[in-house]
A and B are shown apart, each in its own frame.
Chain A
Amino acid sequence: DAKTTQPTSMDCAEGRAANLPCNHSTISGNEYVYWYRQIHSQGPQYIIHGLKNNETNEMASLIITEDRKSSTLILPHATLRDTAVYYCIVRVNSGGSNYKLTFGKGTLLTVNP
């Protein structure tokens, strides 16, 4: 799976949009971008994933650049409960050992009141 690079930490004001970047310059054509988050002392929580088109769900939006070398997770109105470590993961669509989620160090997002 391609390696990802994320900032170690970010701050965001409550109610503002949180934009979390991720670089995955070596991503392959059949690899998806997944985002998970881990609130302190809890298990990781799936947020969103995409291949090349922008995606939106009830939790967040995912913007993937045209060359797919980077992406941004957007939390439109961050709340204090969004404080967590956010992981960007790339993995193949199917086959091989695509079930192995490889978690890096992620980005610690702190939402401030």
Chain B
Amino acid sequence: NAGVMQNPRHLVRRRGQEARLRCSPMKGHSHVYWYRQLPEEGLKFMVYLQKENIIDESGMPKERFSAEFPKEGPSILRIQQVVRGDSAAYFCASSMDRGRSDNEQFFGPGTRLTVL
């Protein structure tokens, strides 16, 4: 049973380019969460999605960042016109359901974005 998969594992972009990060949830999971971890800091929640719906994007920067989770295919976190401050590790997690006490989130290995 494969875990949460993320690709690429490492991504290098120059300032102004676009970054696309992909996340395939665990089999049977329909809830996806994206977190960002800046250097030397803890993970911070960005966005929560279900299939074809954004449930909560309160942690997303207002500009340049967007996320989707289409009916078919992986969830995508898209960063347009990247800046050096976007350099971070981006983690995706998935769960079967939300709101239940035994509903843990399973995390992927992360994508490490470096902006030159």
A residues at B contact (CB < 8 Å): 32, 34, 41-46, 49, 51, 87, 93-95, 97-106
Contacts and interface: CB of A to CB of B under 8 A. Distances in A.
A99 B98 contact: yes
B56 interface: yes
A106 B42 contact: yes
Contacts of B95: 99
Interface of B: 4, 31, 33, 35, 41-45, 48, 56, 58-59, 91, 93, 95, 98-102, 104-110
B34 to A, nearest CB: 11
A43 B107 contact: yes
Contact of A104 (B42, B91, B109): B42
Given A93-B101, A104-B42, 10 more contacts: A41-B110, A43-B108, A43-B109, A44-B93, A49-B101, A94-B100, A95-B99, A101-B43, A103-B43, A105-B41
Contact of A94 (B43, B45, B101, B105): B101
Query: Looking at chain A's contact residues, is the secondary structure mostly helix, strand, loop, or mixed?
Result: loop
Contacts of B33: 99, 101
Contacts of B98: 98-99
A101 B45 contact: yes
Contacts of A43: 4, 91, 93, 107-110
Nearest to B41: A105
Contacts of A32: 101
A46 B104 contact: yes
Nearest to B101: A93
A103 B35 CA distance: 10
A87 B42 contact: yes
